[in-house]
Amino acid sequence: MNRATMTVTILGSGTSTGVPVVGCSCAVCGSKDPRNSRTRCSALITHRGRNILIDTTTDLRQQSLREKIRHIDAVLYTHTHADHVHGIDDLRPFNFVAGQAIPIYGSGETIASIRRNFGYIFNEEPEEGYRPRLNPREITAPFDLFGLWVEPLVLHHGSGRSLGFRIGPFAYLTDCSAIPESSEKHLQDLEVLVIDGLRFRSHSTHFNIPQAVEVAARLGVRRTVLTHLSHEVEHADCNKALPEGVELAFDGQQIELCLAGYQARP
Ligand SMILES: [Zn+2]
Ligand SMILES: [Zn+2]
Ligand SMILES: [Zn+2]
């Protein structure tokens, strides 16, 4: 892996139910186009041989097998909705490889929620059986992670909050319905933006596609990739209708970024 490049792999491009939706017989859920088959929303960032996972979805095991992920060196959590966290137990095989605890990063609210909801992982008492070994770290400011400068950005997710992450020329903003001014000012000069674009109809906790397109245009992003997609979005038809520079994410999609000109620590 070149020191000056970073690869983003879309592990999952789907909304909380995944697509196809269990029990649904719509055209998208029945589609044979693999790009209409979407696991829960997640991405993997690879840089200098390190793998940084964004969220541990309920599909983490299948995503890891599909992409042949051999190791996870850190996890960045966006927020604690079930679709983004409940695959946490599937970090165990990566502990076997690492031979040590895996650092997991999130807001204070996220780390507290993970500790509360997955008490068995953090219980000090000796316990029979396996559990993931994790090292929770609260993010309060930008930080260096394996030579990448990671900027956490607070986003509105309905009445709740999530964290977006900017890393050099790239930003990942899933599960958001508005971007506070204090975060938006850190989203200038982006090469690639991966952003929540649930569906065409409006939604109280997610940007819909027209809103996500508007945000990307406002920020002047060169390449925008819409993720967290529902079964209301048919890949080929919708992709054709999007403005230039905007596309739909799909599972397994890889995006290469050049980091030349971006210092690890500004
Ligand atoms: Zn979600
Ligand atoms: Zn459907
Ligand atoms: Zn959410």
Whether the Cβ atoms of residue 219 and residue 193 lie closer than 8 Å to each other: yes
In angstroms, the CA 164 to CA 194 distance is: 10
Based on the number of CB atoms within 10 Å of its own CB, is 207 exposed (0-12), middle (13-18) or buried (19 or more)? buried
Ion ligand 2 neighbours, Cβ < 5 Å: 21, 24, 26, 29, 231
Ion ligand 3 neighbours, Cβ < 5 Å: 81, 175
Give the model confidence (pLDDT) of 214-245 as tens digits: 999 999 999 999 999 999 999 999 999 999 99
Based on the number of CB atoms within 10 Å of its own CB, is 22 exposed (0-12), middle (13-18) or buried (19 or more)? exposed
Looking up tokens 């966290």, which residue turns up? 85
Give the model confidence (pLDDT) of 1-49 as tens digits: 456 999 999 999 999 999 999 999 999 999 999 999 999 999 999 999 9
Give the model confidence (pLDDT) of 46-68 as tens digits: 999 999 999 999 999 999 999 99
- The CA–CA distances, whole Å, from 236 to 14, 26, 194 equal 15, 16, 18
d(CA 162, ligand 2 centre) in Å = 27
d(CA 44, ligand 1 centre) in Å = 16
The predicted pLDDT at position 1 comes to: 45
